């Protein structure tokens, strides 16, 4: 397209429009970093939580979740760095970002409302995580992530029905299917 | 032919149409990104972007990324409307 062409046929015009729109769409696949990073944090914290609660006398096993505070800081720094390096800003990236910021606010409400909801915090977080993963999968049109997000609609009710002490264990299994497996597939597709 | 809409001359040009089609699909894009995707020369792209900006079809923001100058383009409501009109006119033209 080095020479400027002023006399286009309608077919040429249509061809340019379709090609350029397709070019822009090719850039919307988000990286797998966030799902891998949070998948591993959540899985390790869940297993540690379950172990401490089940096999030790430690009074506050949920304290292992404090590990998520540096996790949030790393996430914010990483996304800021990535956004300022990006040469194009897409509507998809924006939607995904706000979906997960919304997730952050939602789980804060759930955590602080803990005693009013019988401390069923973990299954509720799983529901929100599943929904946001499902939406992200739809936005980037990536089936493994859509299926992964949907799997929380199976794991969350299981966690609700079982005694509360098993919630972190179900969470760890849910994270493997909902986050880690789709994220590794995504990474393989978009290294 | 009385209802035939003339194709917007500002859009009916290879590079300007490519720039507009690209910007329709994204929130904003840097000059370098547009140049890469359209395969245009920097000089030619600058001229065409100026034309689109003067017409109010796109918004051009000039800032700095570190010490490097950074030009970011974004489609305006007027530009989006013109693009839609252009596509509609094109469809009518093809139907005939």
Which pLDDT tens digit goes with each residue over B27-84?
999 999 999 999 999 999 999 999 999 999 999 999 988 888 899 999 999 999 999 9
Percentage of chain A beyond pLDDT 70 is: 92
* Ramachandran class of B75: left when φ > 0, alpha when ψ lies in -120 to 50, beta otherwise: beta
Q: Is residue B22 pLDDT above 50, yes or no?
A: yes
Instruction: Encode B39-50: b = buried (16+ Cβ within 10 Å), e = exposed.
Output: ebeeebbeebbe
Contact criterion met (CB below 8 Å) for A42 and A161: no
The answer, for B18 touching chain A at a CB cutoff of 8 Å, is: yes
In the block, tokens 């409302």 appear at A113
Q: Which two tokens stand for residue A77?
A: 């720094």
Q: Which two tokens stand for residue B91?
A: 């469809």
Which pLDDT tens digit goes with each residue over A103-124?
999 999 999 998 888 888 999 9
What distance in Å separates residue B3's CA from the closest CA in chain A?
A: 17
How far is C-alpha A64 from the chain's CA centre?
20
| CB-CB under 8 Å, A25 with B25 | yes
DSSP 3-state of B83: helix
Among B13, B29, B39, select the one facing A4 at the smallest CB separation. Answer: B13
Q: Is residue B1 pLDDT above 50, yes or no?
A: no
Among B18, B30, B44, select the one facing A88 at the smallest CB separation. Answer: B30
The mean per-residue pLDDT over the stretch A83-111 comes to 90
What ipTM was predicted for this assembly?
A: 0.85
State residue A2's pLDDT score: 44
- Give ∠ CA A145-A149-A152 in degrees, rounded to 5: 150
How far is C-alpha A75 from the chain's CA centre?
12
Nearest CA in chain A to B41: A2
């Amino acid at each position: 397209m080095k020479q400027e062409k002023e006399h286009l046929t309608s077919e040429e015009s249509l061809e340019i429009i379709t090609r350029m729109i397709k070019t822009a769409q090719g850039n919307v696949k988000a990286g797998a970093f966030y799902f891998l990073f949070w998948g591993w944090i959540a899985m390790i914290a869940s297993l540690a939580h379950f172990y401490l609660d089940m096999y030790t006398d430690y009074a506050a096993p949920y304290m292992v979740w404090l590990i998520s505070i540096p996790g949030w800081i790393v996430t914010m720094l990483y996304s800021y760095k990535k956004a300022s390096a990006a040469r194009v800003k897409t509507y998809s990236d924006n939607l995904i970002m706000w979906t997960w910021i919304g997730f952050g606010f939602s789980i804060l409400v759930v955590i602080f409302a803990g005693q009013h909801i019988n401390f069923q915090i973990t299954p509720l977080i799983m529901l929100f995580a599943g929904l946001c993963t499902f939406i992200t999968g739809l936005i980037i049109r990536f089936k493994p992530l859509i299926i992964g997000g949907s799997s929380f609609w199976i794991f969350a009710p299981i966690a609700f029905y079982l005694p509360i002490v098993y919630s972190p264990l179900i969470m760890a299994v849910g994270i493997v299917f909902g986050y880690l497996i789709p994220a590794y597939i995504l990474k393989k597709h978009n290294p | 032919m009385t209802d035939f809409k003339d194709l917007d001359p500002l859009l009916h040009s290879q590079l300007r149409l490519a720039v507009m089609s690209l910007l329709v699909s994204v929130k904003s894009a840097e000059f370098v990104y547009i140049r890469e995707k359209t395969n245009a020369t920097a000089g030619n792209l600058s001229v065409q972007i100026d034309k689109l900006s003067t017409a109010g079809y796109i918004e051009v923001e000039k800032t700095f990324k570190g010490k490097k100058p950074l030009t970011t383009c974004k489609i305006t409501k007027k530009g989006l409307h013109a693009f839609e009109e252009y596509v509609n006119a094109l469809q009518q033209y093809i139907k005939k």
